[in-house]
Amino acid sequence: MRTLSVLLLASLIAVPFSAHAQQAAVSGLGQSWPNATDVSSSPNYHVYVFERGNTRYIQVNDANGNVRGAFARTPYSLVGLPIGTAELATPDEPMPAPASTTGETVYQGNNIKVFAAPQPDGTMRLMAAPVNCAQNPVECTGAFR
């Protein structure tokens, strides 16, 4: 009976840690194919979440593995990182309205929504905003201010 209790307790402790480890990697940021779980809500993109301390990093790659951009979310701010090829916009770092706001949500989790909008000139605009900011991150990143 004691062995069963110990095994049950061990499994209850191990489950939350293993589930968390699958969601947020600790290394690989900036890589085309990091050893992390793809959490994208779109078949056209790959999204990876990394975590270090109180900062969560959200990286967006295109379908070919090209790093398009990444965001850092701290308890106090949401900012773009200087990696990738996309223009990045957040409520903390707004940009003028893009030429095209047609795109798709590529990630929604941890109270953040990331929206990708390909532009007519071949560039990409990635917009990240808190989920409670608006229904569409475009509205929270300076496009309609």
pLDDT digits over 57-104, tens only? Answer: 999 999 999 999 999 999 999 999 999 999 999 999 999 988 998 999
Within-domain flag for 104: yes
Within-domain flag for 114: yes
CA distances from 110 to 11, 14, 57 (A): 25, 22, 11
**pTM of the entire predicted model:** 0.78
Within-domain flag for 126: yes
Within-domain flag for 40: yes
Within-domain flag for 90: yes
Q: How many domains does the chain have?
A: 1
Strands 124-130 and 87-89, how do they pair?
parallel
* Parent domain of 100: 24-140
Within-domain flag for 59: yes
Within-domain flag for 95: yes
Q: Is the pLDDT of residue 48 over 50?
A: yes
Within-domain flag for 123: yes
